């Protein structure tokens, strides 16, 4: 899946070996003023990206199964909401409950319990990534994930977009969603520790209510570090995010890179088509 400013291209290799490409038009919010406000843009674009990712995965599964119908509308949003709720329960509510129990039954101090809560949350995230990466189907998805990153690296370096050339580039990229998740979790360790002692209900509520704020700050942090990734301190700040992508990417095969290239080229073509002629010519140049 390759996303531009106006359109998203999803390329899928069909069972007969051909590559099928679908266009998803992006929400007008990407072009609105809301998408330019620091902090607010992170929350808005994240939620829209979740829906876009779910649509892409559903489309891919249907193409592989040879089906023409796609899950859309209420079914799609219900699936996404259920997945989001399960993620919040596992990575935010469960560690908070464990820390609360440690305070009450093991007589741990608040600061110690909050720190352990954050470490448990981080361990759950990394363990989950490692565990699902052992599944053959997910491991193949992670191969395509790596191919996406390598294709973008090749384009940014001005290299020829061929599978052989693309596969020479790193499979980690600073603007990856995996880096976003890690940043949210690390920030949560700091923020929740600063909240100090709370009763069980305010404690659980704070873990849920503050998720949008954490997401907003994480989005801006990634934008900043990506902008200065060529400086020594930028590389130092990016190192953990790039390292954790080892869990969510695999070295792809040449056919995977071919699919990623097809999606990227389709997205670039649609972006030029949607622009006014002078802007399209400038983009093409």
Residue-wise pLDDT tens digits, 79-117 = 767 877 888 898 999 999 999 898 888 888 888 888 889
Q: Which residue has the tokens 């849920």?
A: 208
Whether the model pTM is above 0.85: no
Distances (CA, A) of 135 to 23, 52, 132, 140: 29, 24, 6, 9
Could you tell me which of 11, 57, 54, 252 has the C-alpha nearest to residue 142? 252
Strand partners, 2: 9
The confidence band for 73, taking pLDDT boundaries of 50, 70 and 90, is low
Q: Is the pLDDT of residue 142 over 70?
A: yes
H or E segment and range at residue 3: strand 2-3
- Gap between the Cα atoms of 224 and 217, Å rounded: 11
The confidence band for 274, taking pLDDT boundaries of 50, 70 and 90, is low
Q: What is the mean pLDDT of residues 197-218?
A: 88
Residue-wise pLDDT tens digits, 166-184 = 999 999 998 887 888 888 8
Map out the domains of the chain as residue ranges.
Answer: 78-277
The answer to whether the CB of 253 falls within 8 A of the CB of 164 is no
Greater confidence, 71 or 195? 195
Q: List strands edge to edge, sheet with 2-3.
A: 2-3, 7-13, 19-25
The backbone torsions φ and ψ at residue 174, rounded to the nearest 5 degrees and listed phi first, read -65, -20
């Amino acid at each position: 899946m390759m996303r531009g400013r106006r359109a998203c291209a999803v390329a899928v290799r069909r069972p007969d070996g051909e590559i099928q490409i679908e266009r998803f038009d992006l929400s007008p919010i990407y072009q609105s003023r809301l998408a330019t406000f620091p902090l607010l843009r992170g929350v808005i674009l994240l939620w829209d990206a979740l829906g876009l990712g779910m649509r892409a995965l559903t489309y891919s599964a249907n193409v592989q199964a040879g089906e023409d119908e796609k899950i859309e509308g209420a079914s799609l949003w219900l699936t996404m909401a259920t997945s989001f709720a399960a993620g919040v329960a596992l990575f935010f509510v469960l560690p908070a409950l464990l820390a609360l129990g440690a305070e009450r039954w093991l007589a741990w101090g608040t600061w110690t319990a909050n720190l352990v809560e954050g470490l448990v949350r981080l361990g759950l995230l990394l363990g989950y990534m490692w565990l699902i990466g052992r599944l053959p189907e997910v491991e193949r998805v992670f191969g395509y994930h790596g191919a996406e990153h390598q294709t973008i690296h090749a384009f940014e370096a001005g290299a020829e977009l061929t599978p052989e050339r693309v596969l020479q580039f790193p499979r980690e990229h600073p603007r990856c969603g995996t880096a976003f998740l890690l940043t949210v979790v690390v920030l949560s360790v700091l923020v929740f520790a600063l909240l100090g002692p709370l009763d069980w209900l305010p404690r659980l509520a704070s873990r849920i209510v503050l998720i949008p704020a954490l997401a907003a700050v994480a989005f801006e942090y990634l934008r900043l570090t990506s902008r200065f990734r060529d400086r020594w301190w930028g590389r130092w700040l990016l190192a953990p995010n790039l390292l954790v992508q080892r869990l969510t990417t695999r070295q792809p095969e040449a056919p995977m890179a071919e699919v990623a290239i097809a999606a990227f080229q389709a997205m670039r073509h649609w972006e030029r088509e949607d622009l006014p002629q002078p802007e399209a010519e400038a983009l093409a140049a």
